[in-house]
Structure 1
Amino acid sequence: MDHVTDIAETTALYRGWVSRHGGAAVQQPAAQLLERAAAMHGAASEPKVRTALLAAIADLAGLGAYIARDIGDHRSADEHARLALSAATAAGNTALGGHTVVRMAGHNIELRRPEKTLSLLDAAAKRAGDLFTPGDCANQSCIRAWAYAQVGDADMVRRAVGDAEEAFTRVDSTGAPNWAAQHVTEAELYSLTGAAYTDLARTNNRYAETAIERLNQALDLRGVSLARNRALDQLSLAEALLYAGEFDEAGRIALAATEAAGDIRSGRLSLRFAGLTRRMQPHACKAASVAEFVTAQRTS
């Protein structure tokens, strides 16, 4: 069991590293740890140890899916997610299995597949709804809000955001397992709902101010340690500012995101930079900071 604990603690360490430095930084060691855990399971004979190893494998495979998603390897992300779900099911860990399905929904929201996202969230609720904590429910409502934003349903966005905020008032994160903890923070609540309102603002700029308020709150709560996550929030904020017509501030925040990204190795982050560059390019003549950002991205 000491070996199982070592795997769980190392998985938690890698998970924190992804939020700071991007998935590519730990892709290889995480893959090696997964192979080691699988070998341990094959060699273990004690039922209690085998079950604990299955749960550790599920957690680690889920992290592998998140790493693959971060570097843009979507096929590998799906394969790791299926492995995580199978291992969680074999371990009898319904909560972890449900969490894995929710993370699959989160992957699909970034791929802009809102219908698939909503169906996965429904499947997760059916699978493990009774086991989800208020924090889990808040996170799922945030993802729902973003999915509804992608289909342009502002009323459902507001309803989902309200559900998320209500659930969050009942959150007690002190006992959250490591695989859930990073998704049930107040910063994540404002980050995801801010991203949802930014999506709405793409077609109706009246939602830009709400997005800006929420994303600023997310950044205030996020702090400076989670560099990759902070850069993602800054990119969403810069986009919302663009829709609000605050061009100089949009460029300034985009440049700050560029500096914050530094040497972070994240394909997900690179795609977001590329998308923001495309949206800012038509406005390069309106603010020097926007022009500077666009030029810097084109020459990088």
Structure 2
Amino acid sequence: MDAELLPWAVRLRAERRRRLWSQKEMARRLVEAADDETRKCLPVRETIIRRIKAYEAGHNQPRDPYRLLYTRVFDISEAELFDMPQTPSRPALDDVLARLPDSDTLTSRLPRTGRRIGMSTIADLSAAVHRLRLADDMLAGGDLLQPAFRELDAATRLYREATYSENTGRALLCRIGEFAQITGWVASDAGHHEQAAKTYRLGIWAAQGAGDGTLQSNLLGSLAYQITNVGDPNEGVTLAHAAVDAAGPHAPARARALAWDRVAWAHVQVGEADAAMRALGQAGAALADHSDEDEPAYLYWVNAHELQIMEARAYTELRRPLRAVPLLTDVLHHYDATHARELALYLSWLAVALADANEPEEAARTALRMFDLSKDLASDRTVRRHRVVLDRLAPYRDVPHVREVIEQCR
């Protein structure tokens, strides 16, 4: 399983795929990187391709001359590619869950005197929660806060008051967990972070009760993402790794990719660049396994573009603008003004990366576009990004266009 691959194997495959090279193309480039004397000693191309497959599967680590050739082709140091990291000990999933405060929203069960419900009600709830997710694609948290909590409250009341079979009860807990995830996300975007954290914890409790590790992973990852951004990033790292553990190696590919994506972001925020890059490699390796497998509807948005955005954001935060700018420029072509919040957020990272690349005029133009898109959005996330962008532009305020944008946007 990809989740169990050695870090160097993940890095070799991730670096190749990041460049959109096939294994055949990789073999060609390794040969080209060799000097004349070394090239004479290399086997035929088919043998090199087999070696590449074995390396990326973790069967054996490259030795010279292949180690040297890999470093030349990727322009990455041998230590960064092949060293085995010292992995810090992390609390087990059960220990992490035990530290989360209990939610009494569902545990204080009332006598169930209401109507009996069946799977048709579950189907209605599934449709309702997915409508809420799609609405979140277009609207900001402040616009969805009340309807989201209204839907979540209705689902929890059904659990407390209705009667149902054991199977229906488990399915109802899953729907409550899904409502809690999107409602927590909406609350977080609206700036209600404590309320969001409580809602995520309710969802984690429901997912545990239903025995749904994939849903539990999604909720833990969402909570980790919020705590990483507005709380203690080290706690975010712990929760993000717990999300990976909750998903396990047999979860749907996109669930594993999302969990590793959250791990990468948490490590970025604590300044652990190597750990972040390894996690991005794991996310890419997991997503590469995606096919037509049966998976929850809430994973619909996890795709290669989203991983590319996270990679670009990671490079921006780590002050590597020459890597971030091309990635962001490419991926922004896939978003339009109907996704105003996401487009504004991604433009904010592009503006920061351009400023770090000493391109103040282009950074200012990008910032102005971001401000115009987000000025009417009820989103705490875009407000926070406004401040970051303006602070990053401040050293260039002597540039006329930058000064004009700063004065206009403050």
TM-score, L = length of structure 1:
0.89
Q: Counterpart in 1 of 2:326? A: 213
Contact 2:247 2:255 in 1 (8 A): no
- Residue in structure 1 matched with residue 146 of structure 2 by the alignment: 28
For 1:169 and 1:247, how far apart are their aligned partners in 2?
A: 37
Q: CA deviation at 1:223?
A: 4.0
Matched, 1:249 2:367: no
Tell me the residue number matched to 1:149. Answer: 268
Residue 187 (structure 1) aligned to one of 295, 305, 308: 305
- Match for 1:102: what amino acid? G
Alpha carbons of 1:2 and 1:267: their partners in 2 closer, same or farther (altered >3 Å)?
Answer: same
Matched to 1:186, the amino acid is: A
* Identity between Structure 1 and Structure 2 (%): 29
Cα distance, 1:59 vs structure 2: 0.6
Q: Is the 8 A contact 2:316 2:349 kept in 1?
A: yes
The CA distance in 1 between the partners of 2:220 and 2:268, in whole Å, is 21
Q: Indicate yes or no: 2:347 matched with 1:228.
A: no
List structure 1 segments (4+ residues) > 6 angstroms apart after TM superposition. Answer: none
Which residue, out of 180, 192, 203, partners 1:61?
A: 180
Determine whether 1:296 maps to 2:408.
Answer: yes
Q: State the AA in 2 paired with 1:238.
A: A
Give the drift of 1:174.
7.0
Highest CA radius of gyration, 1 or 2? Answer: 2
Alignment-derived partner of residue 267 in structure 1: 380
Q: SS at 1:171's partner residue? A: coil
Amino acid of the structure 2 residue aligned with 1:249: E
Residues 194-237 of structure 1: CA distance to partner in whole angstroms, max 9, x if unpaired? 11111110xxxxx1111112212321233443221111100011
| Map of 2:397 onto structure 1 | 284
Q: Distance in 1 between matches of 2:261 and 2:143?
A: 28
Cα distance per residue 1:124-165 (max 9 Å; x no partner): 233331343222232233333323322333333332333322
Residue correspondences, number: 291
How do 1:9-158 and structure 2 match up within 5 A? 9-47=127-165, 48-111=167-230, 113-158=232-277
Counterpart code for 1:225: T
Q: CA RMSD in A?
A: 2.0
Conserved 8 A contact 1:186-1:221: no
- CA 260–98 in structure 1, closer or farther in 2 if over 3 Å, else same: same
Asked whether the 8 Å contact 2:243–2:259 carries over to 1, the reply is no
Indicate which of 233, 237, 240 corresponds to 2:350: 237
Where structure 2 has 5 or more consecutive residues not aligned to the other structure, the ranges are 1-118
Return the alpha-carbon distance in structure 2 between the equivalents of residues 174 and 130 of structure 1: 14
Alpha-carbon distance between aligned partners in 1 of 2:156 and 2:264, rounded to the nearest angstrom: 37
**Secondary structure of 2:268's match?**
helix
Q: Answer yes or no: is the 8 Å Cα contact 1:187–1:219 preserved in 2.
A: no
Higher relative contact order (CA 8 A, sep 6+): 1
Residues 254 and 175 (structure 1), Cα distance of their counterparts in 2 relative to 1, 3 Å cut: farther
Paired amino acid for 1:67: V
8 A contact 2:184–2:199 mirrored in 1: yes
- Distance change in 2, residues 1:158/1:33 (3 Å): closer
Aligned equivalents of 2:275 and 2:210: distance in 1? 36
SS at 2:219 equivalent: helix
